[in-house]
């Protein structure tokens, strides 16, 4: 069975959930081999085995922690040349997409980004599902040149455990001077509250201009906390300075694909939809029954969010007490 390379996303030895999602997709295509850059592979090995990794290629060099993305792309390119994998799966994060693009150029291969699913086609070759034009059209694409390089959105595929050997083999690849052109000078750990990471959260509660002000946006945070959810915002909110830009969902913000996306006071502009349309269940609260967001919702509540959200929080509180 052909190998399928999966570039691991990890931090402090902890395997990110998206890596387990990629392994689930990789198992449909062949025998998954994780590519682990930098330190911490020992700590992550058990989790990789739990999600079906057959092998773990570990490149421990300090370069992977010291320089931005380019060394990882070079390492993957050398592994593609050596192992001739059926595909390379990479997390569709900002960094992951850059690695994917660079790898595709280095290996003269086709690249597919923003995939929300990957399956084996009739001939066994990978077929990626991609939402296009802000989610209005879904296409199924395949790479016809070189080794398919596919960047998959975090949270789009449900990670399913399956036992694997996760046999570790150390690998080395020379890192070129060009790849060392941009050095990481400092790591600043983002201040993280109790809330889950926006792109990995199972539930996202987002607020829009309808919240009226930074103070008004507070009800969105309260609802998110009642649900154990991450907070998102429309661009109208982040541009107005009511909430930080890093929480913006949409075409020029984060792409999310949670089990539940709850949008309050958001009209549903195409640029906002582009970042949340693949959510499994969508609920909107909007006082305008004609708001475009209702075109894509599973459940809609027509009403003033300042009346609806506090009632929701109260009800959630009652259920928690049961």
Question: Which residues form the interface with ligand FAD (CB under 6 A)?
Answer: 208-210, 234-237, 248-253, 265-267, 269, 271-272, 275, 285-288, 291, 304-306
The residue number whose beta carbon is nearest to ligand FAD equals 250
Degrees, nearest 5: CA angle 289-204-49:
145
Residue nearer to ligand FAD on the CB measure, 100 or 305:
305
How far apart are alpha carbons 46 and 267 in whole angstroms? Answer: 44
Which CB sits closer to ligand FAD, 38 or 265?
A: 265
Q: Kindly state the smallest distance separating residue 248's Cβ from ligand FAD, in Å.
A: 5
- Residue 133 CB, shortest distance to ligand FAD, in Å, is 14
Alpha-carbon torsion 253, 22, 281, 229, what sign?
A: negative
Query: Measured from the CB atom, is 143 or 284 closer to ligand FAD?
Result: 284
Q: How many helices (H) and strands (E) does the chain have?
A: 9, 17
**Residues 102 and 182: beta-carbon distance below 8 Å:** no
Instruction: State the nearest-atom distance from the C-beta of 23 to ligand FAD, in Å.
Output: 30
Closer residue to ligand FAD (CB): 142 or 287: 287
Give the single-character DSSP code of 289.
T
Helices 17-29 and 41-50 pack at an angle, to 10 degrees, of 50
**Cβ 92 to ligand FAD shortest distance, Å:** 16
End-to-end alpha-carbon separation of the chain, Å? 51
Nearer to ligand FAD, 47 or 273 (CB): 273
Beta strands 299-302 and 281-286, pairing class:
parallel
Between CA 101 and CA 110, with CA 107 as vertex, the angle to 5 degrees is 55
| Residue 212 neighbours by CB distance under 10 Å | 17
Q: How far is the CB of 130 from ligand FAD (least distance, A)?
A: 18
Of 129, 176, 118, the closest CA to residue 277 belongs to 129
Dihedral (CA of 242, 247, 252, 256) sign: negative
- Cα 306 from chain centroid? 31
**Calpha distance 282→204 (Å, rounded):** 10
CB of 249 to ligand FAD, least distance (A): 6
- Kindly tell me which of 32 and 207 has the beta carbon lying closer to ligand FAD: 207
- In a 13 Å sphere around the CA of 101, the CA atoms on its Cβ side amount to 10
Task: Name which of 33 and 267 has its Cβ closer to ligand FAD.
Answer: 267
Min CB(215)–ligand FAD separation in Å = 13
Residue 109 or 279: which CB sits closer to ligand FAD? Answer: 279
Q: Which is nearer to ligand FAD, 20 or 305 (CB)?
A: 305
What pairing do the DSSP bridges indicate for beta strands 14-15 and 10-11? antiparallel
Q: How far is the CB of 214 from ligand FAD (least distance, A)?
A: 14
Matching residue, tokens 């990995």 = 200
């Amino acid at each position: 069975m052909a190998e399928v390379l999966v570039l691991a996303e990890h931090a402090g030895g902890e395997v990110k959930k998206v890596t387990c999602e990629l392994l689930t997709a990789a198992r449909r295509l062949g025998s998954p081999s994780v590519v682990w850059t930098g330190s911490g592979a020992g700590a992550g090995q058990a989790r990789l085995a739990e999600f079906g990794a057959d092998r773990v290629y570990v490149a421990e060099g300090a370069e992977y922690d010291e320089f931005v993305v380019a060394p990882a792309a070079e390492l993957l390119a050398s592994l593609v040349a050596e192992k001739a994998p059926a595909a390379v799966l990479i997390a569709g994060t900002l960094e992951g997409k850059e690695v994917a693009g660079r790898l595709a150029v280095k290996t003269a291969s086709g690249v597919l980004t923003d995939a929300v699913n990957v399956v084996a086609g009739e001939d066994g070759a990978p077929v990626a599902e991609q939402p296009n034009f802000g989610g209005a059209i879904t296409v199924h694409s395949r790479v016809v040149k070189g080794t398919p390089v596919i960047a998959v959105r975090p949270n789009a595929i449900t990670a399913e455990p399956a036992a694997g050997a996760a046999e570790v083999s150390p690998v080395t690849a020379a890192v070129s001077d060009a790849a060392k052109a941009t050095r990481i000078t400092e790591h600043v750990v983002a201040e993280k509250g109790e809330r889950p990471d926006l792109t990995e959260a199972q539930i996202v509660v987002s607020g829009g201009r309808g919240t009226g002000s930074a103070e008004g946006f507070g009800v969105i945070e309260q609802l998110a906390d009642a649900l154990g959810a991450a907070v998102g915002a429309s661009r109208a909110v982040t541009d107005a300075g009511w909430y930080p830009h890093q929480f913006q969902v949409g075409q020029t913000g984060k792409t999310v694909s949670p089990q539940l996306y709850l949008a309050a006071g958001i009209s549903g502009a195409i640029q906002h939809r582009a970042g949340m349309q693949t959510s499994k269940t969508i609920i909107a609260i909007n006082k305008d029954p004609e708001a475009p967001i209702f075109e894509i919702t599973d459940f809609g509540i027509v009403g003033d969010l300042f009346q609806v959200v506090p009632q929701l929080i109260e009800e959630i509180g009652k259920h928690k007490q049961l």
